[in-house]
Structure 1
Amino acid sequence: MKYYNNILETIGNTPLVKINKLTKDVKALVLAKVETTNPGNSVKDRMAVKMVEDAEERGWIKPGGTIIEGTSGNTGMGLALAAIAKGYKLICVLADKQSKEKMDILRAVGAEVVVCPTAVEPEDPRSYYSVSKRLAAETPNSWYVNQYDNLANRQAHYEQTGPEIWEQTEGKITHFVVGVGTGGTISGVGKFLKEQNPDIKIWGIDTYGSVFKKYHETGIFDENEIYPYITEGIGEDILPKNVDFDIIDKFTKVTDKDAAIYTRRLAREEGIFVGNSAGAAIKGLLQLQEELTEDDVVVVLFHDHGSRYVGKMFNDDWMRERGFLEETKKTALDLIESHANLPLVSLMSEELISHAVSKMRDFKISQIPVMKDGEFVGLVDDKTIFELLIDNPSIVDDPISSVMKDPLPVVEASANIDKISKLINRDTPAVLVKLDNGKYNIITRYDIIDAIA
């Protein structure tokens, strides 16, 4: 019989998978090191177990003890597997930007989860760095992992991930690309690969709001570079000891939006359901593709599984709220979607201005088309009425026909947004849309803004 003695023995030997559609314009062969086949569905399984075993050898943790760690979720999962197999308790401290799925998964495997605010300084007592240290000091028989400065982290990748990649590519790898968070993966893998071939390029993927890229290029730790960001698992507002900047040849930064979009594209176009940092990694590679040749073999490491981001990057509403969803409302019908079921508010030309004021108040609108004999003959808007009322309040009893402006332009439901936008200006606040059922609706300036902002 062939079997493993426990789940920890299944860690490693993850596959290399060729990227096809997303890299069709890249000259090099691009291979993804897909770490989701680890039992905890993440590359962090490797270093989590290594750090626990190292702590056991050093006497830092005793039987029945408690492991405490600040984590973005994936290291916590790896530590949870080790804790289960070895009989330890686990407390994971997460920043509140981490996905709910990560928190739920950690609780499912028995970890206690403590959530801290993201937008605070590392030294702030509320930060997940500070809370982790405090809990370790307060908890008897506990060990604070500190994956950022615990060098067993990068040693795990020097001993495991690097040799795997070298063997799988038969030593033909020319570039290694990976998102940088704690720095363990890029530094451990990079050290091993450069020992085999010093010409191999090691490229780190950073995010806006992180200090890595500027520090690497200038040696300056610039606090002005630090601000909250959405991308998970990469970038830092500190300089972890695990980041060996001498190993890294280049950094490129990827926006939150691009990371999210390319995470979704990996799933839909490559069938690789992976997490947010993978989207950042593949987009970072594409940003640097001009430096690649047909003879190059690039390995991009994908950290974790997409199931941990179902409520975020893979949720259309979440993406839309942040302006990340790549969708364009192209026609008049698209632009009126939010109010298509509402009847068009209109006035008859013989009605009084006071009636227009009442309708604007009741329907909370600023312009109303005017009709006569079933045709649109004019427009009355709040700007016109306001200017007239200031000079002469008694005009409220005058007919609308005496103050109305030219009628609004009418477009077909299929009219595109470019055509509609050109019709709306200072004097024309909206356009009318003729629907297939013979009825009309209206597109205002706000509808255009909502579609393109």
Structure 2
Amino acid sequence: MLLSQPSMNQLSSRVCNGVLDAIGGTPLVRLNRFLDRPDIELIVKWEAANPGGSAKDRPAAKMLSEALKRGEIGPETTIVESTSGNMGIGLAQVCRYHGLKFICVVDPRAQKQNLSIIEALGGTIELVTQPLKGDFLAARIAKVCELIETTPNSYWPNQYANTDNPRSHFKGTIREIDETLNGEFDVLFVATSSTGTAQGCRDFLKSRGRDVQVVAVDSVGSVLFGGSSGPRKIPGLGAGKEPRLAAGQSFDHLVRVSDLECVVGCRRAAQREAMLIGGSAGGVLMSVGRMQEQFAGKRCVAVLHDSGTRYLETVFSDEWVSESLGCTSEELNYLVGSSSFEFFEGVSA
């Protein structure tokens, strides 16, 4: 089979002025094989194409650029932030570019490769090993507060409360989707943690008067949207403590996905679409499958936050899945190959 080669204009439409200028403009990709039905058009926003590898590049750059403009930070400032990994990479990249020191507070669920990337970009890792009242996010934030108090000239961007977080997606992620599709789509699926992406997207669509339903994808064991706290193995999805940004937020639909469901979504995307996607992205795609009857005949867009290349030792490791989620290789292969989306624990609202 011969494939046509892209033109030079398709390969590169502009020269970026530094790596931070390359953030955004990520591609939309139509997935023809993930679902077993032709009556739903599924298009994904491939955020792994950002230079730092995830959607978190956008708020990382926005939060620090605005703080620089306001004079809240300068050349001698130390940036301190809590993250499950991707925000840490985004901030490490921005800090290295601007010559700022960066301390990244993480917990044991962070992917080892992410931590190595942060360190390669000059960041310092502060690992919290014990949860606070059963919650690692609370422990990370407590450590951030301690570091802010003890580190001279330090600054906490606070992705969990900073309105520049959703604003970055309002001005970037959803605007790009809307303009590329000329506003012609029916449903948007977005993973939630700080809820910055989902908020920015929802508010933009409302401002444009778009008749688009927004589906918030949360994890089983997350306290967001009134959920009950429980164990979670997939980083970057859900929260053990409600962030300030998330308080009082609501969306058209809510779907909660289990860790195993996220794994199956990732494996299915690799098998059927030749795409390596991250844990939360697997959950987002499985949510589309869960609601496929409801959205038959619709054009659905799903935001995929990061790449599966950073989950090779977890999501894509049969040994990890067996030890952490209690699912054997045989059971996992059956779930990945099945055309059904009804095998999983979860809640739709």
TM-score (ref. length: structure 2): 0.86
Q: How far 1:140 moved relative to its partner?
A: 0.7
Deviations 1:20-48 (A, max 9, x none): 22212263211010001100010000010
Task: Give the alignment partner of residue 188 of structure 1, picking from 189, 195, 200.
Answer: 200
Counterpart pick for 1:54 among 47, 66, 78: 66
SS at match of 2:330: coil
Name the SS for the 1:79 alignment partner: helix
Q: Distance in 2 between matches of 1:171 and 1:136?
A: 43
Q: What is the total number of aligned residue pairs between the two structures?
A: 319
- What is aligned with 1:309? 311
Contact 2:138–2:240 at 8 Å: present in 1 too? no
CA deviations over 1:252-282 (Å, ceiling 9, x no partner): 1111111112112212211111110010101
- Deviations along 1:299-327, whole A, 9 cap, x unmatched? 10100111211111111211222323441
Mark the CA change 1:30 to 1:172 in structure 2 (over 3 Å): closer, same or farther: same
Cα shift at 1:231: 1.6
- Report deviation, 1:243: 2.9
SS at match of 2:245: coil
Correspondences of 1:273-352 after superposition (within 5 Å): 273-294=276-297, 296-321=298-323, 322-327=325-330
Query: Per-residue CA shift, 1:34-76, capped at 9, x if unaligned?
Result: 0011000100000100000111122221212111000011111
* C-alpha spacing 1:83/1:326, structure 2 compared with 1 (3 Å): same
- Give the aligned partner of residue 161 of structure 1: 173
1:2-81 equivalent positions in 2, closer than 5 A: 3-25=15-37, 27-81=39-93
Identify if the C-alpha distance between structure 1 residues 286 and 119 changes in structure 2 by more than 3 Å, giving closer, same or farther: farther
2:326 is aligned with what amino acid? Answer: G
Task: Note the 1:125-274 alignment, pairs <5 A.
Answer: 127-213=139-225, 215=226, 225-243=228-246, 246=249, 248-274=251-277
Cα distance in structure 1, aligned partners of 2:103 and 2:236: 19
Counterpart residue type for residue 298 of structure 1: C
Equivalent residue in structure 2 for 1:86, among 94, 98, 119: 98
**Kept in 1: contact 2:318–2:329 (CA 8 A):** no
Residues 366-377 of structure 1 correspond to what in structure 2 (within 5 A)?
none
Shift in Å, 1:124: 8.5
Q: Distance in 2 between matches of 1:326 and 1:20?
A: 26
Q: Residue 244 of structure 2 aligns to a residue in which SS?
A: coil
Over 3 Å counting, the alpha-carbon distance change for 1:317 and 1:10 in structure 2 is same
Change (3 A) 1:140 1:280: same
Q: Distance in 2 between matches of 1:124 and 1:319?
A: 21
AA of the residue aligned to 2:306: D
User: CA 1:32 to 1:140, structure 2 compared with 1: closer, same or farther past 3 Å?
Assistant: same
Helix, strand or coil at the partner of 1:327: helix
On the 8 A contact 1:117/1:128 being kept in 2, the answer is no
Aligned to 2:347: none
CA distance in 1, matches of 2:328, 2:147: 39
User: Deviation per CA, 1:311-365, whole angstroms, max 9, x where unpaired?
Assistant: 1111121122232344159xxxxxxxxxxxxxxxxxxxxxxxxxxxxxxxxxxxx
Deviation digits for residues 67-108 of structure 1 (CA, Å, limit 9, x no counterpart)? 100001111111111111111011100111122111111112
How much does 1:169 deviate?
A: 1.3
SS at match of 2:158: coil
Q: Deviations over 1:132-188 (max 9, x none)?
A: 111111111110111000110001011111110101111111111011011110000
User: Distance between the aligned counterparts of 1:143 and 1:153, measured in 2?
Assistant: 16
Output the amino acid matched with 1:68.
V
Q: Could you say which structure has the greater relative contact order, defined with CA pairs below 8 angstroms and 6 or more residues apart?
A: 2
Change beyond 3 A, Cα 1:284–1:89: same
Instruction: Determine if contact 1:68/1:142 at 8 Å carries over to the other structure.
Output: yes
| C-alpha contact 1:202 1:247 (8 A) present in aligned 2 | no
Q: Which residue of 2 aligns with 1:103?
A: 115
Answer yes or no: is the 8 Å Cα contact 1:162–1:192 preserved in 2. Answer: yes
User: Which sits farther off after the overlay, 102-111 or 154-163?
Assistant: 102-111
- Cα distance in 2, alignment partners of residues 255 and 125 from structure 1: 19
One-letter amino acid of the counterpart of residue 252, structure 1: V
Q: Distance in 2 between matches of 1:328 and 1:292?
A: 29
Deviation at 1:130, TM superposition (A): 0.5
CA gap of 1:317–1:246, structure 2 versus 1, over 3 A, is closer
Letter aligned with residue 17 of structure 2: N
1:176 partner letter: L
CA contact (8 A) 1:26 1:292 kept: no
TM-score (norm 1): 0.67
The answer (yes or no) to whether the contact 1:26–1:289 under 8 Å persists in 2 is no
Gap regions ≥5 residues in structure 1: 216-221, 330-453
Gapped regions of structure 2 (runs ≥ 5): 1-12, 333-349
| Equivalent AA in structure 2 for residue 61 of structure 1 | I
